[in-house]
Structure 1
Amino acid sequence: MEGVNFLFRTLCTVTILFSISAYATEKKLIVDHDGGADDAMAIFLALLNEKYFDGPEVVAITTTHGNVDENQVFYNTQRILNVAQRPDVPIYRGSPSALIRDFPSDLYFGYDGLGDNTTTVEPIAAQKENAAEALIAFSKKLKGGLTIVTLGPLTNIALAMKLDADFMSRLSQIFIAASYIYTDNIPQKVEFNVKMDIEAYYIVVENGLLDKVTLIPSTTVKSYLNLGKVWRLDILGKIQSNVIKAMNVYERISLSRSNDWHPLDAAAMSIVLNAMIVGEVKYTWNYLNLCGNRRGMTENNFNFKTPNAKIIYTLKKEAYRVFLLKIFSADVESEN
């Protein structure tokens, strides 16, 4: 019987990994972000993977509040696309605030979200549609072929779902970089992206569809993909490309805070682009506490009969390390 159970678990894992990676053949990606240095690295990864490795086409970037206010996020998006030499990627501006209650940023990446630097940019105009309208329109145009990666609060996604009840069902996949998996070693607190719009997270996950939603918890990334500050500075940081030179500036404040290095958004985008980084994935009923002293804390029921999401449970550090070096080194070879 144990052999049968092992085979069943193995088949389930293979099936889940296939569902996570199968979207890559669809070649269409939208990044929804909140303007921090880790968002910048995630966007660079997506654009470089598209350019050099025939990765999914980034068809739009949408902005929301979070690491900094939305005005700064919009400005930061222009800065990022300038460095990447991709002013052609359309920017759709999103919600400047949470649905109900705002929280101040922790300024982890600096006041401007990108290391408090004064680089100038060539302006890139925003599209006339707001982010929620654009997400709905793209989901219709690319029905079944669009993957969304959310790197900040879920305000734009929640608004799109409220405006169009069929929005999520038209997606290929939505990857959500948020949530915690609590263990004895994990402090009981509210994850940052969840805290910045608790009601939005509730709306999205409460109405989640198992075949569409994959959660990437920051606790999983911290536990399995901590490459360390020394590796970040002495290996990745020594790559002589314009993108890495920019990232060294963008992360200079966050890197001064700790000897660890495990940026959630860069890890999340890498997981989306390379399923080989993924270890174990579980089905879960993920839900959010809205009241009391556990307000904003996420919970997982791995035995629930009707799960609403897949959740990344373990990850592979060496595969992640290799992927980062491959993507960012490709840019050096091109520039030379």
Structure 2
Amino acid sequence: MASKCTMVLDTDVGTDDAVALLMALSQPSVDLIGVTCVHGNTSLDNVLVNTLRVLKLCNRLDVPVYKGTACPLISSNKRTDASFTHGSDGMGGIPDPHPPSRDLIQSEHAVNALIRMANEHPGEISLVAIGPLTNLALATKMDPEFSKKLKELVIMGGNIEGRGNRPGAEFNFFVDPEAAYITLQEYTCPITVVPWDTCVRNGLTWEWYDQWTSTDTVKGHFVRDILKRGMTNARTFYKRHLAPIFDPLTMAVVINRSIVSETKRSPVLVEVKGDVTRGQMVQVDASFVDHPKNGREVDIVLKCDADGIKEMLMKAVE
């Protein structure tokens, strides 16, 4: 049984982020107290609209949405366009005929909101980061005590096998390598990383995916429509043998940690200087962990129980 979870979601809502948000909203064990938005899969303005769209679908516009950072800490990377998967609007190019009002977006900046919520709920918040880590890096720079007040940080990002969905890195870390470096170096709360490689290996069969996206509900139709573009590309161009799930897998890990069947604990760093390797997460030999340049230890998820994931995905489209 999933334990109670006070959650803040930091996200760049594209298609799979939307599914992860649906999962959180469908679980009685999750108290989602805020969504902080960041650039990434699409523009920050699109992310804000997409977030409100999902909340409206679930009749949960009471959840506060905060506008965060619109670009990386240092400079934009021209190779970060994700429209191939998420469409130009981040939602697979599926228009919303009745979009929620942007007046629902909170006036407080997302970074300030993160710090405030941690102060209001010390030791209680599971911070779930499924986009670039720009907001998180700024939060710890503004308040070095910020991460000490979190229960945990769970990240969808990084890679452990030297390959990813960008040249040598995973997308979220590739978009803002400096933010990923700062977060993994300076956060002192327990950190769990669900890397790109794990998400690919723990994908679901296409047969089950097709059944899931055929669910005859309003949410089922929504998921089918927004995922169609990216998943068609995954089948055709990437020739994936399994339907990859990235942000939803990470959300499943947070909701019910018992689905995790294999992990490893390792010090990690993020490469910020390379060309092909910029944004790559590098594991360090634990025997040298005391060396100041060898990073801090994190728990890396390697394998999860598919049945547990499926159960949560089905709940999300009821």
TM over 0.5: yes
SS in 1 for 2:94: coil
Taking structure 2 as the reference length, the TM-score comes to 0.88
Q: CA deviation at 1:263?
A: 2.2
What is the CA deviation profile of residues 105-149 of structure 1, one whole-angstrom value per residue up to 9, with x for unaligned ones? 221111111110121223151111111000000000000001110
Could you tell me how far apart the structure 1 residues matched to 2:285 and 2:231 are? Answer: 35
| Equivalent residue letter for 1:285 | P
Give 1 or 2: higher strand fraction. Answer: 2
**Counterpart position of 2:260:** 278
- Select which of 118, 123, 141 maps to 2:95: 118
**Counterpart position of 2:238:** none
% identity of equivalent residues: 26
SS in 1 for 2:128: strand
Q: Please identify runs of 4+ aligned residues in structure 1 that moved more than 3 A.
A: 183-188, 304-307
What is the CA deviation profile of residues 136-183 of structure 1, one whole-angstrom value per residue up to 9, with x for unaligned ones? 000000000011101100000001000000000100011010000116
Deviates more, 1:315-324 or 1:194-203: 315-324
Q: CA deviation at 1:317?
A: 2.2
Matches within 5 A, 1:187-266: 189-209=168-188, 211-223=189-201, 225-233=202-210, 235-259=211-235, 260-266=242-248
Deviates more, 1:101-110 or 1:161-170: 101-110
Q: CA deviation at 1:319?
A: 2.7
Contact 1:229 1:258 in 2 (8 A): no
SS in 2 for 1:156: helix
- Select which of 156, 165, 176 maps to 2:135: 156
Contact 1:214 1:310 in 2 (8 A): yes
When the two chains are superposed, the root-mean-square deviation of aligned CA atoms in Å is: 2.1
Q: How many residues align?
A: 300
- Select which of 324, 330, 336 maps to 2:313: 324
| Equivalent residue letter for 2:88 | Y
- Structure 1, unmatched stretches of 5+, are 1-20, 332-336
- Asked if 1:134 is matched to 2:123, the reply is no
SS in 2 for 1:75: helix
Could you tell me how far apart the structure 2 residues matched to 1:35 and 1:77 are? Answer: 6
- Select which of 34, 37, 60 maps to 2:12: 34
- Asked if 1:290 is matched to 2:272, the reply is yes
**Counterpart position of 1:309:** 298
- Asked if 1:91 is matched to 2:68, the reply is no
SS in 1 for 2:122: coil
Could you tell me how far apart the structure 1 residues matched to 2:221 and 2:165 are? Answer: 34
Structure 1 residues 301 and 153: alpha-carbon distance in aligned structure 2, compared to 1, 3 A threshold: same
Q: CA deviation at 1:218?
A: 1.3
- Select which of 69, 76, 98 maps to 1:102: 76
- Structure 2, unmatched stretches of 5+, are 236-241, 291-295
Could you tell me how far apart the structure 1 residues matched to 2:223 and 2:7 are? Answer: 22
Structure 1 residues 292 and 277: alpha-carbon distance in aligned structure 2, compared to 1, 3 A threshold: same
SS in 1 for 2:86: coil
Give the structure with higher Rg (CA). 1
